[in-house]
Amino acid sequence: MDRADEATAAVIQGKLPEGVTSPVDKAPTPPKALSDDEVDRIIDQIGEDTGFERMSDDESFFLDDLDGDAKERTGADVKQELANDQSMLDRLRGCVI
């Protein structure tokens, strides 16, 4: 058997050439699932860091949308969107096993 045939036979048997590692060996370890308490703590921390609750309803600023276009938003807009997101997360939380 020549070297190419030997290498092909080894790969068929699941043996990789010396010095070559499988992509599975390089895959990162998946993160552990967060508990509900940890998720709530993280959400609370983000709220404290961003200060959206303290934002004035008439405060105006620009945010990029998905198209990359800057759109003017008010504090009231952001608070409403965050409330909608939280409501959706609360509904989904009951669906996760």
User: What pLDDT does 97 receive?
Assistant: 52
Residue 80 lies in a domain: yes
Q: How far is CA 8 from the centre of its chain?
A: 39
pLDDT digits (tens, 9 = 90+) for 5-53: 887 887 787 777 776 766 666 667 777 888 888 888 887 887 777 777 7
HSE-up of residue 74 (Cα within 13 Å, Cβ side)? 6
In a domain, 45, yes or no: yes
Is 5 contained in some domain? Answer: no
In a domain, 20, yes or no: no
Q: How many domains does the chain have?
A: 1
Residue 38 in any domain: the answer is yes
What does the pLDDT read at residue 23?
67
Domain-embedded: residue 77: yes
Task: Specify if 60 maps to a domain.
Answer: yes
